[in-house]
Amino acid sequence: MKIFDIISNALFPNKCICCGEIIGREDFLCDYCYEMIEYVDFSKVCKRCGLNKKECQCKNRVFHFSGSIAPFENKEVARQSMYRFKFGRAIGGSKFFAFEMAKAVKTVYNDIEFDGIAFVPMHFVKRLKRGFNQSEVLARELSKILGIRILEDLLSSKYSSKIQHDLTFKERFSNIKGRYKFNYNVTGKTVLLVDDIKTTGATLDECAKQLLLAGADRVYCVSGLITQSKKGKKTNGN
């Protein structure tokens, strides 16, 4: 080990993105958290809405996106890791989630050629408060891994005082209407849309609608986490 590595390991030990335990340089999770984390089984979910086939929402609602996937369910180790990244600025989590999201894209969307990556935007006041937009951070990591360019400033967000996670399933869809707008045309392009957590799909649906209005041919979503069976329930996400 080089002297620089020894010093940096002592000063800034690498920590488990979920529980904070000190781990090896190359790892993201400690052995315990790695054992506990549950991956989504892509053979059991609807490729359009991303939900378990029994809970598929596609009969009740026509989504503007053509597909939606996530490597993890919004629970336990994956949920805690995402929240540490999102609210605790544990930035190592972004690399872990982007890596797993890239794997999911390569597995489920293996026959799709993407022209660019868009992400769910955050109003600049909110972004200023938090210091970063977690969806943008994930999108930029994904862009590096997949070699797909970011469609810069394609979507922007209006200010809203109403927070999505205080609302029910139905309220979320009406609250989010008109929140986003596109800034230029992407005629004929196939777009990969990135978000941190898919809860009801209302945010992704509204963003996908804007991308279609901007001329996109198709929009496919990838998020770090997906919430299953959420009808009417209040959760923390979009």
Note whether 150 binds Zn ion by CB under 5 A.
no
Shortest Cβ distance from residue 7 to Zn ion (Å)?
A: 24
Note whether 18 binds Zn ion by CB under 5 A.
yes
**Which of 9, 14, 19, 181 touches Zn ion (CB under 5 A)?**
19
Note whether 56 binds Zn ion by CB under 5 A.
yes
Q: Measure the CA–CA gap between 187 and 170, rounded to whole angstroms.
A: 31
Note whether 33 binds Zn ion by CB under 5 A.
yes
Residue 131 DSSP code: S
Shortest Cβ distance from residue 50 to Zn ion (Å)?
A: 7
Q: Give the list of residues 6+ apart from residue 43 with CB closer than 8 angstroms, or none.
A: none
Tokens of 178: 């008109």
Note whether 16 binds Zn ion by CB under 5 A.
yes
Comparing CB distances to Zn ion, the nearer of 21 and 152 is 21
**Which of 37, 49, 101, 214 touches Zn ion (CB under 5 A)?**
49
- Choose one: 42-50, 111-119, 150-158, 191-199; the region binding Zn ion (CB under 5 A): 42-50
Given the rule CB under 5 A, which residues bind Zn ion?
Answer: 16, 18-19, 21, 30, 33, 46, 48-49, 56, 58
